[in-house]
Chain A
Amino acid sequence: MMPNRFRLSTLAFLAPAVIGLLVFFIGPLLLNVEVSLREQGGGHGLAQYLRALGDAYYVKVWLQTIVLAACVTFFTLLFGYPFAFAIARSRGPVKGFLIFLIVTPLLINVVVRTFGWMVVLGRSGLINGTLRAFDLPTINMLGGWFAIGITLVHVMLPFMVLSIASALEGIDQALEQAALTLGAKPAAAFRYIIWPLSLDGVITGTLLVFSLSIGSFVTVMLMGNNRTMVLPVMVYQQLNLSSDWPFAAALGMVLLVTVLVISGIQLAIGRRLRRGQA
C-alpha cells in the first residue's frame, strides 16, 4: 500500500489544524482590520488611522517604538555574536554549559526577568546598595530608556545567539584553517570567511529579535514612564483604560504593518549583502 497523493485521509489529517488556524488566527486578524475601520455613527473609514498619523504625539510614539527595537537588535547582535562563536567553537561539557547558560534565561518569564533587573538597578538595588556601601552618591536608573534597553537586550540575547550559533556550526573549520595556513590574518579570515558564511544566522537573528522587541510591552509597562511610551503599551492602554476598541485595533494594525515592512527591508538588505559576499 503505497501512499497516494490525493487521498481523502490526507485532507482529513490536515483539516483540523488548517481549519483551526483559519478560524482562530486568520478570522481574528480579519476582524481586527474591520474593527480598526469602524467610525462613530456606524460607518467604516480611515478615521482611526488618520487620528494616529495626524497627531505628533502618536507619530513620536511610533518612531520611539521603531528606534527602541532597532537599538535592542543592534546591541544583541554586537554582544551575541561572540557568544555564538564561543558555542560553535567549544565541544563537550563546555558547549553544554554555554548552551544551558543561554537557554535557561529564555525560559524564565519576562515579568520575572524584568523584576530581576529592577532589583539590579533600583533605588535600593544591587548597584545603588554597593554605591551606598562605599558612601558614593546613588543613581536612579529605573524609569527610563536605559533600564528598558538593558532588560530587553537580556531578554532577546538568547534568540540572537541561538540563531547565529546554528549558522556558525555549519561552517567547515577547514576553510578557516586553509586561510590561516595561506597567511591570512585572523581578522581577514573572519572578514572574508566566517562573517559571510554566518550571514544567514545573523539575518534570522536580527529579524527575530526585531519583531519580538517591537512587540514587547511587559518590560516597558513595568519600567517605563510617560516619556517612554511605545506602541504595544499604548494599544494595551487604549483597550484596558480607554476601552477604545477601534483605535486599539488601528494601532495594532500600524504595529503589524510596521513589523512586516521593516522585516521585508531587512530581508532585502540581507539578500543584497549575501550576493555582495558571494
Chain B
Amino acid sequence: MNRWLKAYIALAAVFLLLPMALVVVVSLSSAQFVIFPPPGFSLKWFARVLQDTSFMRPLWNSIQLGLLSTIMAAMLAVPAAIVLVRRRPPGAEAIQTFLLSPLALPSLVLAIALLFFLSSIGLGNTYIGLLIGHVVIVLPYLLRTVLAVYSASDPRIEEAAYTLGANPWRAFWRVTLPAIRPGLFAGGMFAFLISFDEVAVALMLSNASNMTLPVSILGYLVNNYDPAVAAISVIKMAIVVVVLIAVEKFYGLGSLTLPQRGGTASHG
C-alpha cells in the first residue's frame, strides 16, 4: 500500500467508526440530553435502560425471534441445499434463484405485502405472522452460505459412506451434516444477526407485546433524543460483536463475506 492509500484508509476508518464511538461516549454521559462533549461520565443511563421493560422486553423478543426464525429457516434450507447441490434435479438453477429472490426486493415492499397477506388470512399482528416474515427474510442468507460450503465439499465422501453400507439417514448424520456444519453455523449466526437487526418487516408486523428491539429504539428515537438510546444501542452492539467474534472464531469473517474461488479462505 502506498502512502496515499494508507492516509485514505485512516480517514475511512475514522468515518466508519466515528458514529459508533460517539454512541458509546454518549451512553456514558451524565447529562440529561445528548450533548457534546458530555459534562461528566456515569453509568446511570445503563441502569435506567436495564430496568426499563420497554427496552428489555423487546430485547428478549428480538433474541427469541432471531433464534426461532434461524432454526426454522435452517430446517427449510438444509434439505433444499442438499438436493440442489448433490442431485441437481431439472431446473435446479431456477429453483435456487427463486429461493434466493427475497434478497432482491426492497424489504419495505415485502413488509407491506406480508401485512396485507397475513391480515387477510387472520394472522395479522400475531407472533406467528412476525415469525413467518422473518423466516422469509433470513432463509436466503442461510441457504446461500450452506450452498457455498456444501458445493465446496467432496461428493465422494458420501459415495464412500453409501458404498460402505450406510443408509441415507446415517450418511446424512455422520457425513453430510459434519461437512456442512461450518456453513450452517456461520449462516445461522448471520441469519440471527439479520433477524436481530431487521426493521421494516418487524415494524409492520409486530404489536406492542411482541415488538422487537430495533422497532422499539426507532419508536423511542422518533419522540426522544436522550442518552437512553445510546445505552440500549451499546448493549445491542455488544451482543452483535459477541456473535461476530464467535463467527470469526469458528469460521472466519473473510470467507463469509468474500466469496472466493476454492481453497484458502482469508481469515480476517
Q: Which residues of A are in contact with B by a Cβ distance under 8 Å? A: 1-7, 9-10, 12-14, 16-18, 20-21, 24-25, 27-29, 31-32, 35, 79, 82-83, 85-86, 89-90, 95-105, 107-120, 122, 124-126, 128-129, 154, 157, 162, 165-166, 169-170, 211-212, 214-215, 217-218, 221-222, 232, 235-236, 239, 245, 248-249, 252-253, 255-256, 259, 263
Residues of A within 8 A of B266 (CB): 95-96, 99, 169
Scoring B residues 73 to 114 as 1 if CB is less than 8 Å from chain A, else 0, what string do you get? 001110110111011111000010011011011111110111
Chain B residues within CB distance 8 Å of chain A = 1, 5, 8-9, 12-13, 15-20, 22-23, 26, 33-37, 75-77, 79-80, 82-84, 86-90, 95, 98-99, 101-102, 104-110, 112-118, 120, 132-133, 135-136, 139, 143, 159, 162, 168, 193, 197, 199-200, 203-204, 214, 217-218, 221-222, 225, 229-230, 233, 236-237, 240-241, 244, 248, 253-254, 257-261, 266-268
Given contacts A31-B113, A154-B16, A239-B115, contact A16 B244 (CB under 8 A): no
State in angstroms the CA–CA spacing of A89 and B5 once bound together.
11
The distance in angstroms between the C-alpha atoms of A114 and B108, with both chains bound, is 18
Cβ of B80 to closest chain A Cβ, rounded Å? 4
Q: Which residues of A contact B33 (CB under 8 A)?
A: 124
Q: CA A235 – CA B19 in complex, angstroms?
A: 28
- Report whether B105 and A256 are in contact in the complex, using a CB–CB cutoff of 8 Å: yes
**Structural contact, B261 and A170, CB atoms closer than 8 A:** yes
Chain A residues contacting B22 (CB-CB under 8 Å) are: 116, 119-120, 125-126
Cβ A16 vs Cβ B5 within 8 A: no
Q: Would you call B83 and A20 a contact (CB within 8 A)? A: no
Given known contacts A96-B268, A112-B23, A3 and B86 CB-to-CB distance under 8 angstroms = yes
A28 surroundings in chain B (CB, below 8 A) = 110, 113-114, 116-118
For residue A18, which residues in chain B have a CB less than 8 angstroms away from its CB? 80, 95, 98-99
Report how far A116 CA is from B14 CA in the complex, Å: 13
B117 near A166 (CB under 8 angstroms)? Answer: no
A113-B8 contact in complex given A3-B87, A107-B197, A239-B112, C-beta closer than 8 Å: no
Kindly list chain B residues whose C-beta atoms are within 8 Å of the C-beta of A118. Answer: 34, 225
Residues of A near B240 (CB, < 8 A) are 107-108
Contact: A21 with B136, CB < 8 Å? yes
Q: Can you report 24 residue pairs joining A to B where beta carbons are below 8 Å apart?
A: A4-B87, A5-B89, A10-B87, A18-B95, A18-B98, A20-B139, A25-B101, A28-B110, A83-B12, A86-B9, A100-B248, A105-B17, A108-B236, A110-B197, A111-B214, A115-B233, A116-B20, A124-B35, A154-B16, A221-B222, A245-B116, A249-B112, A255-B108, A263-B104
When the two chains form their complex, are residues A103 and B257 in contact, meaning their CB atoms are under 8 A apart? yes
> Which of the residues A16, A170, A249 comes within 8 Å of B75, measured between beta carbons?
A16
A117 CA / B99 CA spacing, docked (Å)? 35
